[in-house]
Amino acid sequence: MNNIRRLWQNIDPFSLQLRLTTGMAVFSTLVLGSVALWTSWKMQQILIDSHKQNIEHIAKRLPQDVQLYSEMMQPEIGLQKAIKNLEDTNTLLWIKSRERKILAQSTNLNFLSKSMVSELMSLAQMPLKPEVYKINQSYFILSENSVQVKGKILGDLFVVKNITREQSTFVLMVQSLIVISILAIITLTIAIAFYIKHSLHPLRQLNQMTAVISVEDLGQAQLYLNNAPSEVKELAQTLTMLLSRLAQSWEQEREFVSNVSHELRTPLTIVHGYLQSVLRRQNNLTQIQKEALETAASEAERTIRLLQDLLDLARADSGYLHFQMKSYVLNDLIEEIVMMAKKYSDRDITIEAETHPIEVKVDYSRLKQVLLNLIDNAIKYSDAGTPINFKLYQLQDKAVIEVCDEGYGIPLQHQARIFERFYRVDESRSHATGGSGLGLSIVKTLVEGMGGSVSVQSKLGEGSIFTITLPA
């Protein structure tokens, strides 16, 4: 039962395989069902027609025999004699006058039950056409014809053929045909399902090949399937050309970002330097001029940091972001960076670390940039009086740094995307806090460049924990 439930849960109602299989199964059911119904109807007609011919032969011959016997004996005796000659085990005959009086009947009617004879007689009251009638688990074909002797109508001849054995055989054949049709439909559906699954295998291969293509592989990606149908090969070629165009577009975008960042950073740095120089000689400045220059210098500095982040990301994408990896005692690095952060913030920043030193091989300036970004992020998204806590420990061959705050927290649906470029959880707060949506993306890029990983755990109203894992 559990296997069936799991199988049902794994079925995709919108898959091409299920749609094709269902369509072919329905079509096969309609075709085989129609054939089975037509065959059953045709067999029934053949059975009726064969007995109908026999009944018509009896109805044609009886008046001739009656006329022959009536020349040698009384008409009533000749009538009975003619009926006796034509009756057999399964053929019942009787003649009724126009006054509904039975003039003669076959002797085998006496062997039937009174209820059955009564029901046969009641059927004879209606206009009859040769067809199958069921009476008490028995099957009969009834027919009616008038009997004339010397131009005079003696009465109506009723011929009843007992076809119980033939009808039972026919019903058994129909049931067998239904069972065979159902088995054929099931077998055909299974065969069609496997055939369609095999036919769609090249598409699955193509899907798997494209699923593992990363940004770095766009230019070198070649999608080709040896034994695939022509249509799938054409699709693979089209996708290959599309990936090539995407690679060119991506490369052009990276070059543009890198060039713009590089070209704008230098003049903005000069502008920022001049603004700082003027602010240092502020004796001749009014209060309004001073505030304007301070705002301009702050915005210039923020823009320079943004351009530097864009330049670092562009270099990382191009593979030109170099790391100067050296061995350091992580405990000392964390303490130095925390002391530096305390000078520029009013927050209580604590460290919980193991007593033994943890050695790592990292780029000091890049690690400092990562941790300062996380500290800055914690300050922006938590209340002023809340502390920030660093936890440092070693887990097997990994050094783990946790940056914990008691801030607003990150909604669960955003946690998987906060490391994406320019992604911001709260657009209304991002401008006020000066965020550009690149800080955590830079963190992820730099940490992974040093061979580590970064993740986040957060609850609304309780704070966030950013975990950095580095090779120890």
Contacts made by residues 348-352, CB under 8 angstroms, sequence distance 24+? 348/387, 348/388, 349/375, 349/387, 349/388, 349/389, 349/390, 350/387, 350/388, 350/389, 350/390, 351/389, 351/390, 351/391, 351/392, 352/389, 352/390, 352/391, 352/392
Q: Given a cut of 80, is residue 250 above it in pLDDT?
A: no
The Cα diameter of the chain in Å comes to 158
Cα separation, 361 vs 472, in Å, equals 7
The pLDDT tens digits for 450-469 are: 999 999 999 888 899 999 99
**pLDDT score for 401:** 92
pLDDT value of position 430: 47
Q: Which of 67-81, 115-129, 234-248, 262-276 has the highest mean pLDDT?
A: 234-248
Question: What backbone phi and psi angles, to 5 degrees, belong to 387?
Answer: -85, 165
Least confident window among 374-378, 430-434, 448-452: 430-434
In sequence order, which residues have a C-beta less than 8 Å from that of residue 84 and are 6 or more positions away? 106, 107
- Backbone phi, psi, residue 147, to 5°: -115, 120
134: its two tokens: 């069921």
In angstroms, the Cα distances linking 61 to 47, 48, 86 are: 22, 20, 9
Residue 228 scores a pLDDT above 80: no
Q: Give the model's pLDDT for residue 431.
A: 46
What residues have CB less than 8 Å from 101, skipping those under 6 apart? none
More confident residue, 102 or 460: 460
Q: Is residue 404 pLDDT above 90, yes or no?
A: yes
Give the global pTM.
Answer: 0.50
> What average pLDDT does range 245-260 have in this prediction?
72
Q: What is the pLDDT of residues 11-60, one digit of tens each?
A: 666 677 778 888 888 888 888 888 888 888 888 778 777 777 777 777 77
Q: Tokens standing for 181?
A: 């049709």
Q: Between residues 404 and 244, which one has the greater pLDDT?
A: 404
Torsion 55-56-62-65 (CA) sign: negative
